[in-house]
Chain A
Amino acid sequence: MNRLAIELPGLSLKNPIMPASGCFGFGKEYSQFYDLSELGAIMIKATTKEARFGNPTPRVAETSSGMLNAIGLQNPGLDHVMANELPWLTQFDVPIIANVAGSTLEDYIDVARVISTAENVKALELNISCPNVKDGGIAFGTDPKTARELTARVKEVSEVPVYVKLSPNVTSITEMALAVEEGGADGLTMINTLVGMRLDRKTGNPIIANKTGGLSGPAIKPVAIRMVYEVSQRTALPIIAMGGVQDSYDVVDYLSAGASAVAVGTQNFVDPFACPAIIEDLSKIVKEWELEHILDLKGRSWGKHGKTANHRA
């Protein structure tokens, strides 16, 4: 038995580790460092209907134990992703989770309908939480009614299960989770970045051209852990968690808080070998801790009244 294997809606994962969307492009760059088939899954860069250049530069700024980014959903557009990026990824034995973004409800529906037909796309990740674009994105992710509606409409056209990526920039992320669950979501991914800003000390101007950016990295992990802990106890949906994962013990924390799988974002920039290293360390942990399965850890932070839904393979 593979003690790291996990079954989630649409996804048979060799292990619970996958690179987070926006931190891994479409995989090409990282394929020079290791075999992408080692990964549990790949969450590819957000895809929109038309090609987007994204925001002006500077697009990133480092902060204490974190970084701000405002890339602005730069991507080559749906047609190019379907014709080039996804076919290229078929050489690897790894399920693809396609991150879908747009400015209007129709954009999301159009992209979801097409991209969900790609043979290696096993699930969608609805990006209703990008903080760095003016239209769409976060506008869908801060109002429960809109989020529920969008989820339901995308579910109607998608050939594969739909996960919704939640924003932490809301009063109640649990309310958002329950809304998309009602809309028919098959799972949740959380959290997207926290909106932040860094100023130039000399001029006082924001460093990022977009002024605000999304905060990621170890600095946001406590926030994300708290949110996963709360949401996982209120919904039956499986959670793929992300936020500041640097090593296997961060993964243990997220599983303990109630997640079923974990994505690695910013750490890929710090160490391009981060994902395979974490997977290897998780294998050691299940042995050393004598776990039958890595998901034995799931929800152990909840206390004796917590409920658990098992997704072990």
Chain B
Amino acid sequence: MIQKQDMIIVSHKQIADHIFELTLRGSLTNEMTSPGQFVHVKIMNGSEPLLRRPISICSIDRENEQFTMLYRVSGSGSGTSTLSQLMKGFTVNVLGPLGNGFPVDELEEGQTALLVGGGIGVPPLYELSKRLTSRGVKVIHILGFQEQKVVFYKEEFTALGETYIATVDGSFGTKGFVTDVIDKLDVTIDGYYTCGPAPMLRAVEQKLSGVDGYISMEQRMGCGVGACLACVCHVQGDDTGTAYKKVCSDGPVFKSKVVVV
């Protein structure tokens, strides 16, 4: 169930250029069911910044009632820049968990899953990978970044399975895009899961069109609960042009070939 709760910052640190890792504690964590869900964070009380920020859940630690999220500071004076200055012991107001995450029970033990993430779309794949590997699914990670200084969680993903990094400028890993790495893979994929910028999602969906997959969409949001219709997307194969899905409450994760990326 969706709850609203002041959650305590138990750890907060910068892990790459403009990328922060924030761990929060509170009973709301117990409501988190599937990887790929997100929370809506009110950074400060009052009207500045006014709206909540949708941030994906990166890992869930039920035992300690805490979860971790990674976010990118979008610029000076932005809400995320204010968030990045909050220290351990402070609280932030969290609404969540929101949306529908990645299904983890579609693949059996021994099958192979390809997890493809781009930039700040990488974090939700971490909890997903933990869940898949705990079921005995073999995971292969392909993570795309702009350049070396924004690469994060390489060790964490590597600990769970094969991990390839691509950077646009070639400063780390393969030079190019995640699809360049997919081209070189010589392995049978039983299912894929992807999260990142729309052009990457489109390319991945096209490249892996013969495989069942799940796509996590990103869009500017208002309410985060499906009421304001800010984050809608078109539906594939809809001739009327009026059919739509809401990224926040119908998604953010959709089966491939359902929504227009």
A contacts, CB < 8 Å to B: 22-25, 28-30, 32-33, 51-54, 57-62, 64-67, 69, 71, 74, 76-77, 201, 217-219, 246, 266, 268-273
Contact = CB atoms under 8 A, between A and B. Distances in A.
Query: Which 4 A/B pairs are nearest by Cβ-Cβ distance?
Result: A25-B227, A269-B223, A29-B227, A65-B47
Interface stretch (B131-139, B161-169, B241-249): B241-249
Given A59-B220, A66-B50, A269 B228 contact: yes
Contacts, number: 103
Overall SS of chain B's interface: loop
Interface string B206-231: 00000000000001111111111111
11 contacts: A29-B225, A52-B242, A59-B230, A67-B51, A67-B222, A69-B230, A71-B228, A74-B229, A217-B50, A268-B223, A269-B222
A71 B51 contact: no
B221 A29 contact: no
Given A60-B221, A69-B222, A270-B52, A23 B47 contact: no
B227 A60 contact: no
A51 B225 CA distance: 21
B71 to A, nearest CB: 15
Given A57-B232, A67-B50, A29 B241 contact: no
B242 A53 contact: yes
A66 B4 CA distance: 21
Interface residues on B, range: 20 to 34
Interface of B: 1-2, 4, 42, 47-52, 75, 79, 95, 219-234, 240-242, 244, 249
A60 B47 contact: no
Contact of A218 (B2, B42, B47, B244): B47
A181 to B, nearest CB: 31
Given A25-B226, A69-B230, 11 more contacts: A22-B228, A25-B227, A30-B225, A53-B234, A74-B244, A76-B242, A219-B47, A266-B50, A269-B222, A270-B42, A272-B223
A29 B224 CA distance: 10
A298 to B, nearest CB: 26
Nearest to A25: B227
A178 B59 CA distance: 58
